[in-house]
Amino acid sequence: MSTDKETLNKLKRVLKVSNSIKMEQMRDMLDLDTKTFNKKILDWAEEFDFILDRDYIIINKNTVESFINQLDKQFEAWDKMETTKIGKVEGFESNNVVQLEAQSLKVEEEDLEAKNNLEKEAEKKARREAIERENKSIVINAQQKFNKRQWNEAINLFKKSKEICSQQGWSDGISYAEKMILEAEEKIREAEERAKKILPFKGTQISQFEADILQELENQLNKQFNFVTKFEERTKMGFCVENNQITGIGLYDCDISILPESISNLKSLQKLELSANKLTTLPESIGNLSSLEELEFNDNKCCLALIEEIFLHFLLFFLFLFLFFFSLFPS
């Protein structure tokens, strides 16, 4: 293998004393075929920072020693293998191919791992955003219930929001839910106190709680209620009372377009006159009037949806009564 060593020594001298070398000259010195040399020179250029300038190889003096050392080691390995030079170069190529394949596989694995991490992060973000939207919807609904004096429903919704915020570690959401629950509970206690307190109102006596509801209606309509001893058809701005509880309200031709939610808190209300108004819908809470027996709403701008809504409320109520009484009898 003296020829190989002589060739290598000659190449080393050229590389040390010159800044460049012709590609053809280097190929001949290494005794490589054109295809093998072209592939190798690209790999060496990348690894040792050589510059390929047309027919010349511009040598990087900072890396030339490393390049020569690698050739030394490869030529020693060739001598031990006792093969032809072409065989040695192919072995050299094989080792590089294996290394490149291993590196490529590692890069692919890293890319796959990075892609999986990105997908997981995207899924977490999507779940978090969905939970945020759900919680926001619950809080808005709870606030609406609170403003409509539906305290118990508001409390249940705020408790649900608090549970979500606790699971997600949202301290601000937890604090807000707890604050609103306390306020709603305080409102319930106040309402219970007002319900117990009987006071004079419009020539009769009713609870302060129900008086507040009538006063809210008066403020909305800018009209005053009158106490009536007998509830008749087309009663206008009148109300009747039994046992200190409002049992009838007449709002005939009062130019009402929106019925307040608070009216659904009159648990003893039996008759409600809403004819000749501008109602197009009723609050969902109207179904809470469990004592209601008569509801007049003729000559309104009501649509079929309103009629269906009213019918459904009372259908469900009477279905509940039927099932309740049916359960009292043995099978």
pLDDT tens digit at each of 331 positions of the chain? 444 667 777 877 888 888 888 888 888 887 778 888 888 888 888 888 888 888 888 888 888 888 888 777 777 776 665 454 445 455 555 566 666 677 777 777 777 887 788 888 888 888 889 999 999 999 999 998 898 888 888 999 999 999 999 999 999 999 999 999 999 999 889 888 888 899 999 999 999 999 999 998 899 889 999 999 988 888 999 999 999 999 999 999 998 888 888 888 898 999 999 999 888 888 878 878 889 988 888 887 654 555 565 666 666 666 766 676 666 666 5
Is residue 118, in this structure, part of any structural domain at all? Answer: no
Number of domains into which the chain is organized: 3
The residue among 142, 176, 194 that closes a domain is: 194
* Residues 206 and 297 both lie in one domain: yes
Q: What pLDDT, on a 0 to 100 scale, did the predictor assign at position 1?
A: 40
Looking at residue 219, its amino acid is: N
User: Which residues are within 8 A (CB) of 92 and not within 5 positions of it... i.e. 6 or more apart?
Assistant: 74
With respect to residue 214, please indicate whether it lies within any of the assigned structural domains. Answer: yes
218 and 174 in a common domain: no
Q: Could you say which of 166, 194, 222 is where a domain stops?
A: 194
Q: In this predicted structure, what is the pLDDT of residue 299?
A: 83
The reply to whether 211 and 317 lie within a common domain is: yes
Q: Regarding beta strands 198-201 and 204-207, do their DSSP bridges make them parallel or antiparallel, or are they unpaired? A: antiparallel
| Strands 20-22 and 56-58, sheet pairing | antiparallel
Q: What is the pLDDT of residue 186?
A: 93
Structural domain contains residue 97: no
Q: Maximum Cα–Cα distance for the chain, whole Å?
A: 130
Same domain, 135 and 155: yes
Residues 204 and 319 in one domain: yes
DSSP state of 234: T
29 in a structural domain = yes
Clarify whether residues 216 and 282 are in a common domain: yes
Structure confidence at residue 44 (pLDDT): 84
- Report if residue 185 sits inside a domain: yes
pTM over 0.75: no
Q: Are 282 and 258 in contact (CB under 8 A)?
A: no
Q: Which residue type sits at 315?
A: L
Looking up residue 169, the CATH number of its domain turns out to be 1.20.58
pLDDT of residue 93: 55
Do 202 and 309 have their domain in common? Answer: yes
Same domain for 289 and 211: yes
pLDDT at residue 85, as a whole number: 47
Q: What is the CATH number of the domain that holds 260?
A: 3.80.10
Confirm if 14 and 7 have CB atoms less than 8 A apart. Answer: no
160 shares its domain with 268: no
CA–CA separation, 266 vs 123, rounded Å? 48
Q: CA 180 to CA 155: how far, in whole Å?
A: 8
Does 56 share its domain with 175? no
pLDDT of residue 200: 93
Q: What is the pLDDT of residue 312?
A: 65
Is 95 part of a structural domain of the chain? no
Dig out the tokens for 264 from the structure.
């659904």
The CATH code of the domain that includes 71 is: 1.10.10
- Residue 204: is it exposed, middle or buried by C-beta count within 10 angstroms (0-12/13-18/19+)? middle
Tell me: do 64 and 8 sit in the same domain: yes
Q: Are residues 179 and 279 in the same domain?
A: no
pLDDT value of position 116: 82
Domain boundary among 155, 170, 194: 194
pLDDT at 3: 44
The boundaries of the domain holding residue 160 are 128-194
Region of residue 86 (left: phi > 0; alpha: psi -120 to 50; beta: else): alpha
Predicted pLDDT at 176 = 94
Residue 222 placed within a domain: yes
